Copies of this chain bind each other. A is one copy, B any other.
Amino acid sequence: MGTLADHIEAYIKRMLRESQTNSVELSRAQLADTFACVPSQINYVLTTRFSLERGYVVESRRGGGGYIRVGRVPVADRYTHAMQILQTIGDELEEKQLNDILACFRDMQWISEIEMRRIRGIVQQEVSTVSQGKELLRASLARALLFWIVKSAE
Contacts and interface: CB of A to CB of B under 8 A. Distances in A.
Contacts of A152: 115
A124 to B, nearest CB: 8
A148 B133 contact: no
Interface residues of A, number: 40
B140 A73 contact: no
Contacts of A65: 2-3, 5-6
Contact of A118 (B53, B57, B121): B57
Interface in A1-52: 2-3, 5-6, 51-52
Contact of A137 (B52, B57, B140, B148): B140
A63 to B, nearest CB: 9
Contacts of A126: 140, 143-144
